[in-house]
Amino acid sequence: MKFKFFLLFAVALGLLAIFGYFQAVGRGTPPDQKTSKPKIVVEPEQWDFGEIEYGKIAEYTFKVRNTGSETLEIKRVATSCACTSAKIDKEKIGPGGTAEILVTYDTAAMGRGSHGKGKQERIIYVKSNDPENPQVQVKIYANIY
């Protein structure tokens, strides 16, 4: 008699656990809402201007994409040096949308000294509301002669 009662109790407890698990899973957030957020992608991640004569100005346009499902807001675009400027054409990018960052590098801004000649690296910082990647860095390179 004790064995039958124990067996019945164990089966009931197991069924209750299984039922409870599926109830909890069923009440979870729908899959499309779990990933409801903006996601920034900047392409390419770097650009090499190659050889540039001192005194010249070089420009390149980076593409910014929002691969998320909410509007991406660009909060700030900054550079590592006053010799480089970066301007984005729109600050709000809808899901699947794109924007462009025009980067301008003035090779004469650092002067003719050792800081302004030879291999150079500059960083562009893009701050956004992407919760997983709030600040993206892209780089430009040049060899100034």
**Residue 111 — pLDDT band, cuts 50, 70, 90?**
confident
Read off the pLDDT of residues 75-92 as tens digits, 9 standing for 90 and up: 999 999 999 999 999 999
- Rg for the chain (alpha carbons), in Å? 27
**Helix, strand, or coil here: 11?**
helix
User: CA 86, 92, 93 angle in degrees (round to 5)?
Assistant: 95
Check residue 7 and give its pLDDT.
Answer: 59
Residue 49: which H helix or E strand, with range?
Answer: strand 46-52
**Helix, strand, or coil here: 74?**
strand
Check residue 1 and give its pLDDT.
Answer: 65
Average per-residue pLDDT for the chain: 87
Q: Are 58 and 105 in contact (CB under 8 A)?
A: yes
Check residue 3 and give its pLDDT.
Answer: 62
Going from N- to C-terminal start, the domains of the chain cover 2-34, 40-144
Residue 103 has pLDDT above 60, yes or no: yes
Check residue 57 and give its pLDDT.
Answer: 98
Check residue 116 and give its pLDDT.
Answer: 75
Topology of the domain comprising 40-144: Immunoglobulin-like (2.60.40)
pTM over 0.85: no
28, two tokens: 């979870």
